[in-house]
Chain A
Amino acid sequence: MKFKLPFNKKQSAPIKEAPKENLVRVAHETDHFIQSIKNATNNPADLIIKTLPPNIALIYIDKLVDDQSLNNDIIANLQNNLYETPESLKVALSISEVNISSLLKETIDTMVNGSVVIHVDGYPQAIVANIASRESRALSAPENESQVIGTQVGFNESLSTNISLIRRYIVNPDLCNEKLKIGSRTNTSVSLLYMHGIANDQMVNTLRQRITDLTIDELLDSAVLAEMIDDNSLSVFPQMLLTERPDRFCDAILDGKVGVIVDGSSMAIVCPQSFTEFFQSQEDQNLRWQIATFVRLLRLTAFFLSVYLTPFYVAALTFHYEVIPQAFLVPLSESRALVPFPPIFEALLLEFIIELLREAGARLPTKIGQTIGIVGGIVIGTAAVQAGITSNILLIIIALSALASFTSPSYMMGNVIRLIRFPIIILAGFWGFYGIMLAFCFILIHLLRQSSLGAPYLSPFYPPRLKEMRDSIIRMPIPLTAKRPALTRPEDNNKFEPEPVKPEKS
């Protein structure tokens, strides 16, 4: 689905009349109240109802609430004292988040979220005390975006933990956090994070609107959300970054980007994101600029190698034998001599095998995955050459391009690289270099047409923003990159007042 782009303020939200069931009030009698809750929640097995004589009833869902605070702060409190009214009871509870609600729907919603509902017989109100406890794993190192130098902590599946991680990086009241709910059935919490005073308001509005306009019933992972709020959901190229590194997330937010965190997902969404930024790693910031530049250029080379090396082999061997250097001619044709297939078929076969190995390695448990590596690398590789179904040189080329595709810091982009190789190989086998050129033009035009949250995808190359090339495929020293990227149209352009690179000696 394609979303209408941005900055259109004439969005009149249709006013809906609240459905009647939302207005049902809490019953006076405890028995009625309990029955209505049972009816509304379909009488689940883990619904626990505890009556404290003479007049109080506790209703909650097992394991959604924290047992310790339930015992110490609520039950102990209620058993020892007698409360006549909900107001006096509310004051007595030593829990931070306590509310009085008179609507049945509201009460049930909070109960499902992890609150204890307390009803005092004879009053048409219920007290909801939030003592939710969420199962979540401990913070661990980011497995998919590991770095040598840099923080070794990644997001986990708990929204509140993730936000507290970010708050620890950016200690600033300007960090805005908007909570949204998505999914008519899953009611997933989604947080929109951005820096007030840096992030562009229009971009924030656009993103907020895209998220709130979604009408879906479930949202289980942020990757799904990213696909749905992309500018062009049908493109293979991702237009929003998925990252599990809080430092990368914070760096992006401080550049004026907008971040989205989905509860239950360990990947955060960052946008707008340009094409070149997918080839940057957060580690580049931690290295000296010369080394970071080298690594970035290496990754870009790897991208081109990975996409064009195999097609080049196919095209040269099928059509353009003229371009093969003379010294290379004999080894190449000798290794090809035993192969009974045309080069295109040979290349597709081997690419297919490599993809099989990758997919098998990704699906299998780690212990077996290593075995697959050995089987693939040694057995299939060597055996294929000895059996004469591929040439040695193609094996090297395919392995090299597979290796190169994994240098992309974004796994999503790595997948794209591996995928777009196939049509290019086929075109190269059809028409040689003309086919490769056709594919290249097609990809280039496609990339030029993309945008990320309305920002040009190929920035800073198109539109050419010369000063921003300092931090694109190369990285210049920090004083030279004091400006925020124009991609995000930040409200505040300068990160800091740049000092001269070489301060004069005084």
Chain B
Amino acid sequence: MNKLRGKSIVLLSFVFLYGCAQTNILDKVGLTTLVGYDIGAEEKIATTAVIREVNPEFQSNVEVLTTENDTSKGNRMDANRKLSKKIMVGQMRVILFGEDVAKDNLRYYIDTNLENASVSNGIYMAVVEGKAAPLLKYEYQNIEDIGQHIFRLIEQNVKQEYMISATLHQIAHDYYSIGKDLAMPIIKRDDELVELSGVALFKGGKMVSTLPAKDSFYVKIVRDTFKVGLYETVLEKEDIPSKFLQKPANKITVAFDAIHSNREMELVDIATPEFDLNIKIKSRVLEVFPDINQGDPKSVAGLEKAIEKNLTKEISRVIAHSQEVESDIFGFGEKYRSTVRHSKLTKDKWHEMYKNMKVNVNVDFVILRDGVFE
């Protein structure tokens, strides 16, 4: 009898507990795929959300809504008042920041999204040149769903390693760790298309400078390892011995894809501080214009030397630029902190040191193959 009572209590609790679970039935929710933040009037947060709604009448449509409020949850409530469906953020893929927000401080936005359990940590973040709202509200001729489009655009470029990756997880890690600063892709509207136009450098939560999209290769190669990236560089005439050239030219453009890259940082002097940065790249040369004789081992060795020289120069330039604006996006500070005991490093202290840091860039470039047909 007791056993039966126990079982019936369990069964009965099933019935009552049924009401406790909150349902989010797929066709009753409006799915936010992208959110853009701007600074609105009177220092309020202006949120532009791309929301996909499915209605039986229209197959499905994409709403772009801008609301202004003091908090992002308040913005969600505002948006709810305008839509027939409950707005949920579980399918959000991209967060965009207007330039003014990025230049102000990102701390609040990183925190709120990190604390929200239904926001995935894998969503991409990017900065918009100018404001986010106009980019999202523009009626593109060939882009049906701007939220999905931007997500695929960033994802594709990150997977191909053309652009640095900035997911919420990575951003939060960089933001809260001492000795590393944020870097995010920049996007802008280019007529009827959306374009990844550069890399934003941050100092703490503030955007301080930008690098052109071309330089994201150097940022990436110093930040982490490389597996598939394709890159094109221009070798100046003085870098390359003229005897290899089949006909005289002012410059040579080389396209290569790095099959594998490996970087090592070594702290050689604590006081200055001074780092050795050793980068090993194994690569495949795809195109050389104008042509040089690649059958000759000597000319290949020469080409390697020339590319090494070129890369060293470019990487040094990028690092120097980041030092100028005190944004350590490469994580030299982390290396410093993990090497030097009791350094009691703080963000401010490191930014001071970073300005005067010396880096000896050392590139080891190996051409494994040159073209498939030879």
Taking CB atoms, residues of chain B closer than 8 Å to A440 are none
In the bound complex, how far is the Cα of B27 from the Cα of A343, in angstroms? 10
Contact B56 A332 (CB under 8 A): no
CB < 8 Å A-B pair total: 66
Contact A430 B21 (CB under 8 A): yes
**A341 closest partner in B (C-beta):** B25
Contact A333 B23 (CB under 8 A): no
Taking CB atoms, residues of chain A closer than 8 Å to B120 are 322
Taking CB atoms, residues of chain B closer than 8 Å to A316 are 26
A334 contacts the other chain (CB 8 A): yes
Taking CB atoms, residues of chain B closer than 8 Å to A430 are 14, 17-18, 21
Known: A334-B54, A338-B56. A326 touches B21 (CB 8 A): no
B90 contacts the other chain (CB 8 A): yes
Taking CB atoms, residues of chain A closer than 8 Å to B54 are 330, 333-334, 336-337
Which residues of chain A in 429-450 are interfacial with respect to chain B, using CB atoms and an 8 Å cutoff? 430-432
Known: A333-B27, A337-B27, A337-B54. A322 touches B118 (CB 8 A): yes
Shortest B19–chain A CB gap in Å is: 9
B267 contacts the other chain (CB 8 A): no
Known: A317-B25, A329-B31, A333-B54. A322 touches B60 (CB 8 A): no
**A338 closest partner in B (C-beta):** B56
B338 contacts the other chain (CB 8 A): no
In the bound complex, how far is the Cα of B27 from the Cα of A338, in angstroms? 9
**A325 closest partner in B (C-beta):** B91
B180 contacts the other chain (CB 8 A): no
Which residues of chain A in 297-351 are interfacial with respect to chain B, using CB atoms and an 8 Å cutoff? 316-322, 324, 326, 329-330, 332-334, 336-339, 342-343
**B23 closest partner in A (C-beta):** A318
**B29 closest partner in A (C-beta):** A321
In the bound complex, how far is the Cα of B31 from the Cα of A317, in angstroms? 13
**A330 closest partner in B (C-beta):** B60
Which residues of chain A in 23-59 are interfacial with respect to chain B, using CB atoms and an 8 Å cutoff? none
Contact A337 B56 (CB under 8 A): yes
B55 contacts the other chain (CB 8 A): yes
Shortest B182–chain A CB gap in Å is: 25
User: Which one of A321, A326, A431, A432 contacts B26 once the chains associate, using CB atoms below 8 Å?
Assistant: A321
In the bound complex, how far is the Cα of B120 from the Cα of A371, in angstroms? 50
Q: Contact residue range for chain B?
A: 20 to 34
Known: A321-B88, A321-B91, A322-B91. A330 touches B52 (CB 8 A): yes
B351 contacts the other chain (CB 8 A): no
Contact B24 A321 (CB under 8 A): yes
In the bound complex, how far is the Cα of B18 from the Cα of A334, in angstroms? 27
**A interface residues, how many (CB within 8 angstroms):** 23
Shortest B127–chain A CB gap in Å is: 23
Contact B25 A334 (CB under 8 A): no
Taking CB atoms, residues of chain B closer than 8 Å to A320 are 24
Taking CB atoms, residues of chain A closer than 8 Å to B60 are 330, 333-334, 337
Taking CB atoms, residues of chain B closer than 8 Å to A334 are 54, 59-60
Taking CB atoms, residues of chain A closer than 8 Å to B312 are none
Shortest B34–chain A CB gap in Å is: 12
Shortest B337–chain A CB gap in Å is: 36
Contact B90 A319 (CB under 8 A): no
B284 contacts the other chain (CB 8 A): no
B93 contacts the other chain (CB 8 A): yes
Taking CB atoms, residues of chain A closer than 8 Å to B29 are 321
Contact B24 A318 (CB under 8 A): yes
Shortest A222–chain B CB gap in Å is: 32
**B151 closest partner in A (C-beta):** A326
User: Which one of A321, A333, A336, A338 contacts B90 once the chains associate, using CB atoms below 8 Å?
Assistant: A321
Taking CB atoms, residues of chain A closer than 8 Å to B27 are 333, 336-337, 339
Taking CB atoms, residues of chain A closer than 8 Å to B310 are none
B278 contacts the other chain (CB 8 A): no
B148 contacts the other chain (CB 8 A): yes
Shortest A315–chain B CB gap in Å is: 10
**B119 closest partner in A (C-beta):** A322
In the bound complex, how far is the Cα of B93 from the Cα of A121, in angstroms? 103
In the bound complex, how far is the Cα of B60 from the Cα of A338, in angstroms? 12
**B21 closest partner in A (C-beta):** A431
**A322 closest partner in B (C-beta):** B90
In the bound complex, how far is the Cα of B38 from the Cα of A203, in angstroms? 77
In the bound complex, how far is the Cα of B52 from the Cα of A324, in angstroms? 14
**B55 closest partner in A (C-beta):** A337
In the bound complex, how far is the Cα of B52 from the Cα of A332, in angstroms? 13
Shortest A227–chain B CB gap in Å is: 22
Contact B25 A342 (CB under 8 A): yes
Taking CB atoms, residues of chain B closer than 8 Å to A332 are 26
Which residues of chain B in 44-67 are interfacial with respect to chain A, using CB atoms and an 8 Å cutoff? 52, 54-56, 59-60
Residue of A324, A330, A333, A343 with most chain B CB atoms under a 10 A cut-off: A333
Taking CB atoms, residues of chain B closer than 8 Å to A330 are 52, 54, 60
Known: A342-B25, A432-B21. A321 touches B31 (CB 8 A): yes
Taking CB atoms, residues of chain B closer than 8 Å to A431 are 17-18, 21
In the bound complex, how far is the Cα of B118 from the Cα of A349, in angstroms? 31
Taking CB atoms, residues of chain A closer than 8 Å to B23 are 318-319, 342
Shortest B96–chain A CB gap in Å is: 17
Taking CB atoms, residues of chain B closer than 8 Å to A324 are 26, 91
In the bound complex, how far is the Cα of B120 from the Cα of A324, in angstroms? 13
B 82-110 to A, binary, CB cutoff 8 A, 1 in contact else 0: 00000010110100000000000000000
In the bound complex, how far is the Cα of B83 from the Cα of A474, in angstroms? 54
A 406-441 to B, binary, CB cutoff 8 A, 1 in contact else 0: 000000000000000000000000111000000000
In the bound complex, how far is the Cα of B89 from the Cα of A321, in angstroms? 10
B 215-230 to A, binary, CB cutoff 8 A, 1 in contact else 0: 0000000000000000
In the bound complex, how far is the Cα of B26 from the Cα of A322, in angstroms? 10
**A332 closest partner in B (C-beta):** B26
**B14 closest partner in A (C-beta):** A430
Taking CB atoms, residues of chain B closer than 8 Å to A333 are 26-27, 31, 54, 60
Known: A330-B52, A334-B60, A430-B17. A318 touches B31 (CB 8 A): no
Shortest B55–chain A CB gap in Å is: 6
Contact A326 B55 (CB under 8 A): no
In the bound complex, how far is the Cα of B33 from the Cα of A430, in angstroms? 27
Contact B148 A317 (CB under 8 A): no
User: Which one of B18, B21, B91, B118 contacts A329 once the chains associate, using CB atoms below 8 Å?
Assistant: B91
Shortest B137–chain A CB gap in Å is: 21
Taking CB atoms, residues of chain A closer than 8 Å to B24 are 318-321
Residue of A319, A321, A343 with most chain B CB atoms under a 10 A cut-off: A321
Shortest A79–chain B CB gap in Å is: 71
A-B contact pairs, 18 of them (CB 8 A): A316-B26, A318-B24, A319-B21, A321-B91, A322-B118, A322-B120, A324-B26, A324-B91, A326-B148, A329-B52, A333-B54, A333-B60, A336-B27, A337-B27, A337-B54, A337-B55, A431-B18, A431-B21
Complex A-B, nearest 8 residue pairs according to Cβ-Cβ distance, in ascending order: A322-B90, A333-B54, A336-B27, A317-B26, A337-B56, A337-B54, A430-B18, A321-B26
- Show the binding face of A for B, using Cβ within 8 Å: 316-322, 324, 326, 329-330, 332-334, 336-339, 342-343, 430-432
Give 15 new A-B contacts, CB below 8 A, not counting A320-B24, A334-B59, A336-B54: A316-B26, A319-B24, A321-B88, A322-B90, A322-B118, A326-B33, A326-B93, A326-B151, A329-B31, A329-B91, A337-B54, A337-B56, A343-B25, A343-B26, A431-B21
